[in-house]
């Protein structure tokens, strides 16, 4: 850790996170942790519906993404993915 830097709380990242999550997601690229396949989020296989969905790799069927909508929160679990890359169109 750098001693000459004063850390900020998570509020300081709010603008950057809004940039990240307020975009078209179907073209976002995701890398499967299990087999290393990289492809568009739209190419994953969706299981479930309603309150919760699971997206699986089309190559090895490993779970890459879980999304749960409780009605008051959205819970995103990316265990099973090594990277999610979102193209920034304009700022």
- What does the pLDDT look like over 36-77, one tens digit per residue? 999 999 999 999 877 899 999 999 999 999 999 998 998 999
Whether 1 shows a pLDDT value over 60: the answer reads: no
Contacts of 43 (CB under 8 A, 6+ apart): 58
Q: What is the pTM for the complete model shown?
A: 0.79
Asked if 65 and 76 touch (Cβ cutoff 8 Å), the reply is yes
Q: Which of 39, 55, 37 is nearest to 47 (CA)?
A: 55
pLDDT above 70 as % of the chain: 91
Residue 3's pLDDT band (cuts 50, 70, 90): low
Whether 15 shows a pLDDT value over 90: the answer reads: no
Asked if 86 and 23 touch (Cβ cutoff 8 Å), the reply is yes
């Amino acid at each position: 850790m750098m001693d000459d830097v004063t850390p900020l709380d998570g509020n300081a990242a709010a603008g950057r996170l809004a940039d990240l999550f307020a975009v078209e997601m179907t073209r976002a690229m995701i890398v499967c942790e299990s087999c290393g396949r990289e492809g568009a989020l739209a190419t994953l296989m969706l299981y479930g519906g309603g309150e919760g969905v699971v997206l699986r790799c089309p190559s090895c069927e490993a779970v890459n993404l879980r999304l749960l909508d409780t009605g008051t929160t959205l819970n995103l679990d990316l265990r099973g993915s090594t990277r999610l890359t979102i193209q920034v169109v304009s700022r």
